[in-house]
Structure formats: C-alpha cells, structure tokens
Amino acid sequence: MKSIALVSAALLLAVASSSRQPLVAGESDPVPSAAAPRPYPDRLQWWAEARFGMFIHWGPVSLKGTEISWSRANTNPRCPNKGAIPADVYDNLYQEFNPTRFDAAQWVAIAKAAGMKYLVLTAKHCDGFLLWHSQASDYNVSRTPFRRDLCAELAQTARAQGLRIGWYFSPMDWRDPDFRTERNAAFLGRMQAELRELLTNYGPIDVLWFDWDGREPLYDQARTYEIVKTLQPDAVINNRLDLGPGNNNRQLLSPFAEYCTPEQQVGAYDDQRPWESCMTTSRKNQWAWGGADDGVKSLEVCLGMLIRCAGGDGNLLLNVGPMPTGEIAPEQANLLREMGAWLARHGESIYGTRGGPFLPGDYGVSTRKGNRIYLHVLEWPDETLKLPAIPATIVGSRVWDGGKAEVRQTAAGLEVFVAEAERRPLDTVVVLELDRSALEFAALAVPGAVSLAAQAKATASNVYQRLAQFGPDKAVDGNRETRWATDSGTTSAWLEVDLGQPTRFSRASVRQAYPELNRVRKFAIEVWHKDGWTPCYRGEDLGAKLSARFDPVTAQRVRLNITEATDGPTIWEFQLFK
C-alpha cells in the first residue's frame, strides 16, 4: 500500500495535470456536446455499465417513520435541520433499535431481482449514527439491542452474490457540538477516524457517496480525499464533498470527484461527464421508511426514471427505506421485482449502453451500443416518430420483444412507424441496426411540436398557498419539473390560457406526471366565445398524461376546467397543438 506522502504527491500532480476543468457556479445544466460520447475512464467502466443501483436509507429513525436526520430538532445553529423530534428523543432511538428480521441476503436478493448491480448504504447519515462497530464513536449499532455490525454483513453478502458495495458517508454531523465551530478541528479528527474505519474494515469498497447540506464544507477536503485514495484507491467518488453555498449537485469542483448527483429528478443529457440521479421509491418522496401509509410510486414512474436516466447517459440510484424490523417493505420489494422482470426482457437496451444519439424528448429517449440504437418510445407523438438524420445507414429494424418496426430513411431524417397493436403500454423498444458504430457521432436534438400555449398568459381559480412557484404560468412554461398546484381540499378548479389572438387547434396534451397525484375525476377542455365557455373535449380520470383529439376549433381563450377532483389537483403541463 502506498504511503500517505506518496499519495499526497500523486494527488497534487493529478490536480496540476487534470484536463477536466471544474465547473463554476452557474454551469449547472450541461449543454449537449458536439462531440461523440466521451469514453469513461477504466476505473468507472463497471459503474457506467451497471446503470442501476440500490440506495438504502436506514437507521433508528425508522422507528418514527419520519425523514432521516431532517426530523431531528436543531442543536447546532450552523446546521439546517429543524425537525419536530426533540434531540434527546431522536438521539436515544438507538436504545430501541432492534431489527431482528434484518437479513442481508434478503436485501441482496431483492436488489438482484430488480436488476440492480450495486448497493449504497447510509453507513453514516447527518444524524451521526453509525451502522458499524466503531472505536471512533460510541454512537453506533453495537450499542443497540441488535448489536450486529450491519455494514459487515451487507458488504460480505453483496460481494458473495456478485454485487458491488458502496457507503453513503455524511461528512456533516449535526449532532456533534464542535461541527462548524471554532472547535471544528476536533470534529474533523473524529470524522476522519470514522471514515478510516469504514474504508479499512470491510474489504474493497466500490463507491463512496458523500453528501452535503448547502452550508460551508469544512471537511479538510484535501486530507479527506487523501484518506480515501490511500485506503480505497479504486472506489468511485461522487461530487458532494466539495459543495457549499452557491453550488449545486450538478457541479464537479475537484478532479477527485468523478460523477454528478442530481437529486429527485432525472439529470439533463450529458455524455461528457458521468452522472447518477438519486431518486426514491417512496410515494411521499421520503428517503427513510415513511410508515405504513407511505406507499410507493408506480411501475410506470419508476421504470420511466431508469429509462430516462439511461437515455440521458446517466445512472439511477433508486432508494428503499427498510422498516424498523430490518425488512424491505413488501410494496417496495414488489415494485423492484416488477422492474427486474422488465429488465430481464429489455436489459440489453439499458446495461452497458450510452445515451443517444437522439436527445431525450416527449417521445422518450434513445440508447446505443455497438452498431445498435435502441429507441425507447414512451409516448407516440403521432402516427410516426420523426427523428433527425444520422450519418449511418439503417440496415435493419424491429420491435425488441417481437413486432415489426417500419423505418423510412432519407437525407432529411427518419420516420419510424409501429402499428398500434404492436406498441407496448410502458415502453416500445425499437432496435435500429446500423452499418457502423452508433457511438461515432454526437447527440442530435429531436424536433418536437411546439405548444401553441407555450409561455401564454395563464390564470387560475386557485394557487397553492398563493406561492409563485406553483402559479398557473408553470403549466405552460415547457418545463417538465414545474407545475401549477392548488390548495389542499380543492375539489374543482380551472386553468385558463390566453393565446393572444384567435388560434386554430385540434389537440391538447395534459400532464400530471405522477399517477399518485391523479386527482382529477371529471374535466373539460373549453373555449371562450361571445356566449360563454363551450367544451370541445370532456373526460374522466385524467391520468398521468392525456392526449386529447377533437374537431378543430378556433379560439383565443382556452381553459382546462376541472369539475371534480379528489383533493388539490396539480398540473405539470397544459399544451395545445394544431
């Protein structure tokens, strides 16, 4: 093993010679490169080919069913948590933590059934509790009634079953009274001692996942990276150790940070910098166990996360929050098995691929490998899918799991047609065989129809707590991450757009995004004439995405009139087309 001095010299040399320029604040949204996908470094190759991993947030807080760390009351004004659980209650939950049904083999079996290739466990979260036997801190699992070393059991079992293992390690410790004070050096000594234990006692560690909290990163980063590189030189390291005020999780600020970490959303297309979206199975978007009423997102939503991550050239780290018993909740386990069943049939189009060559869009995404392009058509925009021209000849086409795909290739572009009977309900995977490698050219934008309502003046009957971030304009801004929302308890509402002049249209698209927020039971799309509002389309149970066709109408004012909803309807996008 290299000495600290030798490693330090190597790190300094790497900083001086690195061709990867750190991103500065503001460069958070990568712009697709004009070059072909950048090859991954050899040490990241396994991680990039894996595409899919399991995140595990767990600890004594599972006894409360509340969010890990954030539900703890604040005892350090330099930290951001302001939870409802008094610190003396939260900090003593470990005395009741006895997950007698924990079985590392069960966790690993569920991950493998899901098609996941690596695991990342919250060995230490921001609340400071350690899931391993530690000499550096007595606030650890050995002092619980359970006593067993959870990190040891999971690492050993994962490796035995062929999965990679990683640790989430919070450099922050909101419980430590010295953290971010004039006594921060004392905190650093303890934090780095914990890190050494975690990287010394459990064999090869494949991923080290640091976190951040938006505050000053006083972690002696140079020395901390040095510890990691000395003890686990092959570990893949994420970008969060360096992040602080004014930064975001899409930035790489150090040559030792190897991938970006967009959170709770699919990252933007980027085939030059590795990235991984961390997202939750929890219906409430909670990381830790959310209690018996938590529930899970639908298969459609979670598969969409994975497919869109792969199509954007990134990974998905999908989180589970085990119960206080130590078991992964049945609804989470069943969801993951369903994802695994899909991957068992379609995995070739996900594992070991690169994103592109067609950029993600409303239609879906594309992935590529060797001489193949895999079109993941999640939504057919019309009878045919129109794509830009590529510098290769298509020599074959088919629907991946059986079916005919007709492709017309001209100098102007591609047109792909699959009969409606052969389209799949979640994802129609169309394989295009090329006469050359699909990795030789840069990503290409897919022209899409522009909504007539884009950026139009919008008004609404109700806005959630009158907050601008949930205003009616968010339903016509073309951003899949923003939405118009209404107050809880609202059972009817309307959203109106003014197109500026009389405009002819015959199709509307309404997106609610998540099936668990499908609250609209009855609705109508209406146009204003001098005699009042007239419906051009009526419907029930709006669903996650509606594509409504009707006889052409001409109007300046159009509204989505929700006449019946279960509770506070919310709409991501309202679009109109010719």
Assess if residue 41 is contained within a domain.
Answer: no
Percent of the chain with pLDDT over 70: 94
Cα distance between residue 564 and residue 490, in whole Å: 9
Same-domain check for residues 387 and 483: no
Per residue in 291-322, pLDDT tens?
999 999 999 989 999 999 999 999 999 999 99
pLDDT score at 516: 56
Q: How confident is the model at residue 514 (pLDDT cuts 50, 70, 90)?
A: low
Measured over the CA atoms of residue 508, residue 468, residue 518 and residue 572, the dihedral's sign is positive
Residues in the chain: 578
* pLDDT-derived band at 30, boundaries 50, 70, 90: low
pLDDT of residue 73: 98
Give the pLDDT mean for 89-97.
98
pLDDT digits (tens, 9 = 90+) for 160-217: 999 999 999 999 999 999 999 999 999 999 999 999 999 999 999 999 999 999 999 9
Has residue 440 been placed in a domain?
no
Instruction: Give the separation between CA 340 and CA 142, rounded to whole angstroms.
Output: 34
Q: pTM of this prediction?
A: 0.86
Could you tell me the pLDDT band of residue 380, with boundaries at 50, 70 and 90?
Answer: confident
User: Nearest Cα to 413, choosing from 387, 438, 385, 435?
Assistant: 387
Is 497 found in the same domain as 360? no
pLDDT band at 476 (very low <50, low <70, confident <90, very high): very high
Q: How far apart are CA 533 and CA 565, in angstroms?
A: 20
Residue 72 has what pLDDT? 98
d(CA 350, CA 274): 16
Place of tokens 């590795």: 274
Number of H helices, E strands in the chain: 9, 23
* Ranges of H-type helices in 140-271: 150-160, 184-200, 221-231
Q: Residue 139 is inside which H or E element, if any? A: none
392, 339: one domain = no
User: By three-state DSSP, how is residue 22 classified?
Assistant: coil
Does residue 217 lie in a domain region?
yes
**Which segment of 89-98, 204-213, 258-267, 477-486 scores lowest on mean pLDDT?**
477-486
> Which of the pair, 21 or 296, is modelled with greater confidence?
296
> Would you call 575 helix, strand, or coil by DSSP?
strand
Q: Could you tell me the pLDDT band of residue 547, with boundaries at 50, 70 and 90?
A: confident
Q: Round to whole Å and give the CA distance between 433 and 302.
A: 28
Boundary residue ending a domain (349, 365, 388): 349
Look over the chain and give the mean of its residue pLDDT values, rounded to a whole number: 92
Whether residue 92 contacts residue 110, with contact meaning beta carbons closer than 8 Å, is answered with: no
Residue 209: closest CA among 253, 173, 246, 261: 261
Tokens at 459, concatenated = 């008004």
Is it the case that residue 289 has pLDDT exceeding 50?
Answer: yes
**What's the pLDDT score for residue 515?**
56
* Position 250 pLDDT exceeds 50: yes
Q: Are residues 294 and 415 in the same domain?
A: no
Q: Nearest-CA neighbor of 52 among 111, 123, 108, 122?
A: 111
Q: For the domain that residue 483 is a member of, what is the CATH number?
A: 2.60.120.260
- C-alpha 296/C-alpha 168 separation (Å) is 23
| Nearest by Cα to 416 from 382, 444, 440, 447 | 382
Q: Is residue 43 part of a domain?
A: no
Token couple for 568: 């506070």
Encoded amino acid at 369, one letter: K
- pLDDT (mean) for 372-394: 93
CATH number of the domain enclosing 66:
3.20.20.80
Q: Report whether pLDDT(6) > 60.
A: no
Q: What is the pLDDT of residue 541?
A: 84
Distance CA 484, CA 477 (A): 10
Residue 542 has pLDDT above 90, yes or no: no
* Contact by Cβ (8 Å): 382, 416: no
Q: Is the peptide bond before 217 cis (omega within 30 degrees of 0)?
A: no
| pLDDT exceeds 80 at position 481 | no
The secondary structure of residue 293, as a DSSP letter, is T
**Do 345 and 360 belong to one domain?**
no
Residue at token pair 């079916």: 403
For residue 450, tell me if it sits in a domain: no
Query: In a 10 Å sphere around its CB, with 0-12 CB exposed, 13-18 middle and 19+ buried, how is residue 551 labelled?
Result: exposed
φ, ψ for residue 113 (rounded to 5)? -65, -30
Residue 554 located in a structural domain: yes
Backbone phi, psi, residue 164, to 5°: -80, 155
First to last CA, the chain: 67
Let me know whether 417 and 462 are in one domain: no
Mean predicted confidence (pLDDT) in 252-268: 95
Average of pLDDT values for 401-424?
95
Residue 365 exposed, middle or buried by CB count within 10 Å (0-12, 13-18, 19+): buried
pLDDT at residue 9, rounded to an integer: 33
Q: pLDDT confidence of 381, banded at 50, 70, 90? A: confident
The domain that holds 377 is classified in CATH as 2.60.40.1180
Same domain, 375 and 324: no
Say yes or no: 339 and 476 in one domain.
Answer: no
pLDDT, residue 29, reads: 57
Predicted local distance difference test score (pLDDT) of residue 478:
84
Confidence of residue 548 (pLDDT cuts 50, 70, 90): confident
Question: Could you tell me the two tokens for 204?
Answer: 């090869």
Characterize the bridge pairing of strands 315-320 and 52-56: parallel
> CA torsion sign, 137 to 141 to 145 to 148?
negative
Residues 387 and 503 occupy one common structural domain: no
Where does a domain end: 326, 349, 372? 349
Q: How far is CA 228 from the centre of its chain?
A: 26
Same domain flag for 512 and 423? no
The answer to whether residue 38 is domain-embedded is no
Three-state SS annotation for 73-116: CCCCCCCCCCCCECHHHHCCHHHHCCCCCCCHHHHHHHHHHHCC
371 with 477, same domain: the answer is: no
Lowest mean pLDDT segment, chosen from 210-219, 337-346, 425-434, 473-482 = 473-482
CA–CA separation, 515 vs 283, rounded Å? 10
Per the structure, the complete domain to which residue 377 belongs is given by 354-434
Is the pLDDT at 133 greater than 60? The verdict is yes
pLDDT of residue 19: 28
Whether 42 is covered by a domain: the verdict is: no
Q: Is the pLDDT of residue 10 over 90?
A: no
Number of domains in the chain: 3
CA distance 442 to 439: 8
pLDDT at 464 over 70: yes
Q: Is the pLDDT of residue 544 over 80?
A: no
Q: Which of 324, 349, 374 is the last residue of a domain?
A: 349
Is residue 16 predicted with pLDDT exceeding 60? no
352 bridge partner residues:
none
| 125 and 107 fall within a common domain | yes
Bridge partners of 166? 120, 207
